[in-house]
Amino acid sequence: MAERWRIDIEGGVQGVGFRPFVYRIACENQLSGWVCNSSSGVSIEVEGLPSALLDFEQALRSDIPPSAFVSKMQVSSLQPTGSDLFQIMPSKAGNLTAVMMPDMATCAQCVSEVFDPDNRRYLYPFTNCTNCGPRYTIINRLPYDRPFTSMSEFTLCPECADEYRNPVNRRFHAQPNACSVCGPHVSLWDSNGLVLSSHEEALHESARLLLNGNVVAVKGLGGFHLMVRADDDRSVARLRKLKKRQAKPFAVMIPSIDVLECSDSAKKVLASQAAPIVLLEREAVGNLAVSKFVAPGNHMIGLIVPYTPLHHILMQFTGIPLVATSGNLASEPICTDSREALVRIGGIADYFLVHDRQIVRHVDDSVVIISREGVTPIRRSRGYAPLPIPVHGMQPGILALGGQERNTLSFSLPGSVLISQHIGDMTTELSLKSASEIAHDLSSIYASETELFATDLHPDYTVSRLAEPPLVQVQHHHAHILSCMAENGIQGPLLGVAWDGSGYGTDGSIWGGEFLHVEDRYGFERIAHFRQFMLPGGEKAVRFPWRAAEGMLYEAGITDFKSIHSAAEGEIELVTVMLEKKLNCPLTSSVGRLFDGVAALLGLCSVNEYSGQAAIVLQGSISKSSQYYPVEYSAGIVNWVPVLHDILHEFSAGVPVGVISAKFHNWLVEVIVEVAVKTGAQRVVLSGGCFQNTYLLDMSAARLRESGCLVFRHQHVPPGDGGLSLGQVIAAMEVR
């Protein structure tokens, strides 16, 4: 006897070929009924023999499309209707909780079509299907249907319409579906906005310009890239000069991963649907010709593969690695509008390859790093955002505004938290405007009002201006630990190790080398920290590591500052007076500033041209060594002063810098183990920007496990400030 079941599914099931999949397995099992997008995901009613229904349910749980994921499935029984047809129905309205899917890299089938001369999408740069293409960057509101995207202005031609309506076609309800007859097109502009060519000719001409060393601003998926050939010193150096970016590494787009000499896991991430920038050791580049100016002084290089048909075509036409850096000025959001780009980056780009599909919201490339511990996100954006983090018991309506640097926002939904794409540093009005728009975006897409704001404890974070009462202020390092706890689905009690450059402490000083006992989501106890020292000039010392070094020397009772070689003439005396009189010299316990100071004393970095440069250079100098400096820890204070004396002595005695760097890193690892053992911690959470350092992360995790501790680290959310907003939501949840 036939039965009828109702199945409601939540998760990433819209715009990923899920309904055609349901249609296919329903027909295979000779079931009738229907499937449609719902406000929470996908709803299904199926009718047929019980054995067939069980097979259908099993397929839903085990054989779903690779881009989809199911977070919840609810099955209930209904009265059979006697229907004999299975249909795909129009979307249904309701309270919106469906998952917004991120943009996905072009699938192999679409790439094959793009380069097939006999295919009607030959060299069409907006080719996509239900398995790939834009999602988050084109959607205006849920549910994910074409009328609610920026593709609504493009009317499907008869052939594309047939694909769109055919349940067995892989482009069935592929919302961005289009071709050269009915879809968006590219044009090549000069720096004044004059159209030079369009369609296929614009692609060929852009490739020629790139090969000739020109800087071409390319409008991609979530904004503009500034592109130039990466194998030519003169071209890359010119881009650095034009962009006023002296040292911060450029990402490089490569034609193929086959030339790389890296791990299979790294290749897998590079070629994944998220297609992030992957930071790899220089040795992994192999025989790839890349200019020394791409990542000067850096032991790592960021590589990315083409993830849109447009990028695939450019790479095919040029056949060389291309710099693909964000199309913006420092601390500004990436450009998305073609006319605006002429104004904002017109002084950098020689030409503009643009298109007429609106980018609804800017989304930068994601950045990850891979180590023995696995993948660690550095910047969570395209390909990952805005996928939610499940949080048991979470209620809707909390908007967390994150931090001042590498900002993201988070918004709570029933049972989960959405984390926005990377926004950037909140130091310009454009960045603040962007954050405001994204805050509105997150709530309006889900038609949910913000009922509570969560901000950092720091009184001067500009992004906190967006908050309105009622609001909750969350201590910076507590938010770091809560963020890692949330993504790992754990609660206290535990030991949280939160190390970074700076965060406003409850005592008004600058924290950054913290050991927190976390009992529950809202409360914490600062049970240990690094010995404090004065930071002459405050924020200025972040820019100039030698200032941190002088503050460390002063705290250690060393007043002969001859060991500092990188300070400008006359400045050491000025800073000495500041220290003696305690003028603009805030106290800090920051491990990030310890990294800066040691790097300066070893002559490795005099100026931080970008965030974390000194620490990165110090990590890159490590020589293989298991030695470490003695740990001095008592009464909740980690004393680094004896280590400083040892470093100065060894450096003056000619001990190689790489050995000193290794011993310093290993000492930090042993500090974590010492505090964990002495406090009786059984579970340890590692968070904060310092744990982007893969050597520190891998060694700490390994030694803690040897000591019998369970270790939790970041896998889905950045350990740095890009993860703060998630932790703020968790803290606010407890006091709502």
Per-residue model confidence (pLDDT) at position 488: 97
Please report, for the domain that includes residue 345, its CATH number.
Answer: 3.90.870.40
Per-residue model confidence (pLDDT) at position 598: 97
Contact between 9 and 41 under an 8 Å Cβ cutoff? The reply is yes
Per-residue model confidence (pLDDT) at position 91: 76
Residue 534 lies in a domain: yes
Among the candidates 327, 355, 383, a domain finishes at 355
Contact between 301 and 253 under an 8 Å Cβ cutoff? The reply is no
Tokens of 567: 């300070």
Per-residue model confidence (pLDDT) at position 446: 80
Per-residue model confidence (pLDDT) at position 559: 83
Give the percent of the chain with pLDDT over 70: 98
Contacts of 407 (CB under 8 A, 6+ apart): 401, 422, 423, 424, 425, 426, 431, 435, 463, 721, 722, 725
Residue 504 lies in a domain: no
Q: Are residues 61 and 205 in the same domain?
A: no
Q: Are residues 146 and 205 in the same domain?
A: no
Q: How far is CA 292 from CA 319, 329, 385, 592, in A?
A: 19, 22, 32, 27
- What 3-state class would DSSP assign to 289? coil
* Averaged pLDDT for residues 283-291: 86
Q: For 80-94, 445-459, 472-486, 651-665, which range has the lowest pLDDT when averaged over its residues?
A: 80-94
Q: Are residues 141 and 66 in the same domain?
A: no
Tokens of 108: 């192999």
Per-residue model confidence (pLDDT) at position 133: 96
Please report, for the domain that includes residue 72, its CATH number.
Answer: 3.30.70.100
pLDDT at 211 over 60: yes
Q: How far is CA 154 from CA 15, 187, 358, 496, 697, in A?
A: 18, 17, 11, 51, 49
Residue 500 lies in a domain: no
In one-letter notation, the amino acid at residue 628 is: Y
* Averaged pLDDT for residues 157-173: 93
Closest CA relative to residue 435, chosen from 444, 419, 423: 423
Per-residue model confidence (pLDDT) at position 278: 98
pLDDT at 475 over 90: yes
> What single string gives the DSSP state of each residue in 81-104?
-----EEEPPP--SS--PPPPPPB
Residue 424 lies in a domain: no
Per-residue model confidence (pLDDT) at position 569: 62
Q: Are residues 51 and 157 in the same domain?
A: no
Residue 513 lies in a domain: no
What's the rounded Cα separation, in Å, for the pair 351 and 368? 30
Angle of helix 591-601 relative to helix 545-555, nearest 10 degrees, comes to 100
Q: Are residues 232 and 350 in the same domain?
A: yes
Tokens of 610: 């970008």
Contact between 126 and 180 under an 8 Å Cβ cutoff? The reply is no
Contacts of 632 (CB under 8 A, 6+ apart): 638, 639, 642
Tokens of 93: 């309205």
In one-letter notation, the amino acid at residue 611 is: S
- What 3-state class would DSSP assign to 340? helix
Per-residue model confidence (pLDDT) at position 287: 79
Identify the burial level of 84 via C-beta atoms within 10 angstroms of its C-beta, where 0-12 means exposed, 13-18 middle and 19 or more buried.
exposed
Q: How confident is the model at residue 142 (pLDDT cuts 50, 70, 90)?
A: confident
Per-residue model confidence (pLDDT) at position 565: 65
Per-residue model confidence (pLDDT) at position 573: 84
Q: Are residues 123 and 48 in the same domain?
A: no
* Averaged pLDDT for residues 517-537: 93
Q: Are residues 206 and 253 in the same domain?
A: yes
Q: Are residues 219 and 120 in the same domain?
A: no
pLDDT at 97 over 80: no
Closest CA relative to residue 452, chosen from 731, 728, 736: 736
Helix (H) or strand (E) run with residue 552 in it: helix 545-555
pLDDT at 48 over 70: yes
Q: How far is CA 473 from CA 414, 459, 478, 733, in A?
A: 22, 10, 11, 12
Parent domain of 226: 186-355
pLDDT at 626 over 90: yes
Give yes or no for a cis peptide into 656 (omega within 30° of 0): no
What is the C-alpha end-to-end distance of the chain, expressed in Å? 51
The backbone region for 582, taken as left when phi is positive above 0, alpha when psi lies in -120 to 50, beta otherwise, is left
Q: Are residues 18 and 80 in the same domain?
A: yes
What's the rounded Cα separation, in Å, for the pair 579 and 583? 7
> What single string gives the DSSP state of each residue in 123-187?
T-TT--BTTBB-STTTB-SSS--GGGBGGGGSPPPHHHHHHHH-TTSTTTT-TT---TTTS--EE
Question: What sign results for the dihedral spanned by CA atoms 58, 62, 64, 69?
Answer: positive
Residue 120 lies in a domain: yes
Q: How far is CA 502 from CA 380, 408, 498, 720, in A?
A: 21, 17, 10, 11
pLDDT at 568 over 80: no
Per-residue model confidence (pLDDT) at position 567: 63
In one-letter notation, the amino acid at residue 203 is: L
> What single string gives the DSSP state of each residue in 17-66?
SHHHHHHHHHHHTT-EEEEEE-SSEEEEEEEE-HHHHHHHHHHHHHS--T
Per-residue model confidence (pLDDT) at position 702: 98
Per-residue model confidence (pLDDT) at position 330: 82
In one-letter notation, the amino acid at residue 461 is: Y
Give the percent of the chain with pLDDT over 90: 84
More confident residue, 578 or 141: 578
- Considering the entire predicted model, what is its pTM? 0.93
Q: Where are the alpha helices (DSSP H) in 610-656?
A: 613-620, 641-652
Tokens of 718: 């950045």
Total domain count, the chain:
4
* Averaged pLDDT for residues 452-477: 96
Angle of helix 641-652 relative to helix 657-678, nearest 10 degrees, comes to 160
Q: Are residues 159 and 304 in the same domain?
A: no
Q: Where are the alpha helices (DSSP H) in 407-544?
A: 429-445, 476-488, 539-543
Identify the burial level of 730 via C-beta atoms within 10 angstroms of its C-beta, where 0-12 means exposed, 13-18 middle and 19 or more buried.
buried
Q: Are residues 262 and 114 in the same domain?
A: no
Q: Are residues 65 and 201 in the same domain?
A: no
Q: How confident is the model at residue 442 (pLDDT cuts 50, 70, 90)?
A: confident
Identify the burial level of 374 via C-beta atoms within 10 angstroms of its C-beta, where 0-12 means exposed, 13-18 middle and 19 or more buried.
middle
408-432 per-position pLDDT tens digit: 999 999 899 999 999 999 999 999 9
Residue 459 lies in a domain: no
* Averaged pLDDT for residues 118-126: 98
Instruction: Tell me which residue has tokens 């009915």.
Output: 182
Tokens of 294: 């791409």
Contact between 499 and 690 under an 8 Å Cβ cutoff? The reply is yes
What's the rounded Cα separation, in Å, for the pair 339 and 350? 15
Please report, for the domain that includes residue 602, its CATH number.
Answer: 3.30.420.40
Per-residue model confidence (pLDDT) at position 472: 96
Contacts of 691 (CB under 8 A, 6+ apart): 376, 499, 697, 700, 713, 714, 719
Residue 341 lies in a domain: yes
Residue 181's φ and ψ, nearest 5 degrees, are -80, -40
Highest mean pLDDT (candidates 69-73, 124-128, 166-170, 384-388) = 124-128
Per-residue model confidence (pLDDT) at position 687: 98
Contact between 291 and 303 under an 8 Å Cβ cutoff? The reply is no
- What 3-state class would DSSP assign to 711? strand
Contacts of 238 (CB under 8 A, 6+ apart): 213, 215, 228
Q: How far is CA 643 from CA 169, 562, 598, 665, in A?
A: 66, 18, 10, 11
Highest mean pLDDT (candidates 77-81, 438-442, 689-693) = 689-693
Q: How confident is the model at residue 17 (pLDDT cuts 50, 70, 90)?
A: confident
Mean of per-residue pLDDT scores for the chain: 94
259-278 per-position pLDDT tens digit: 898 899 999 999 999 999 99
Per-residue model confidence (pLDDT) at position 145: 87
What's the rounded Cα separation, in Å, for the pair 636 and 43? 55
What's the rounded Cα separation, in Å, for the pair 358 and 137? 9
pLDDT at 736 over 80: no
pLDDT at 290 over 70: yes
Q: For 39-53, 86-100, 458-472, 590-604, which range has the lowest pLDDT when averaged over its residues?
A: 86-100
pLDDT at 238 over 90: yes
Contact between 376 and 384 under an 8 Å Cβ cutoff? The reply is no
Give yes or no for a cis peptide into 536 (omega within 30° of 0): no
> What single string gives the DSSP state of each residue in 579-614?
HHHT-S--EE--HHHHHHHHHHHTTS-S--SSTTHH
pLDDT at 561 over 80: no
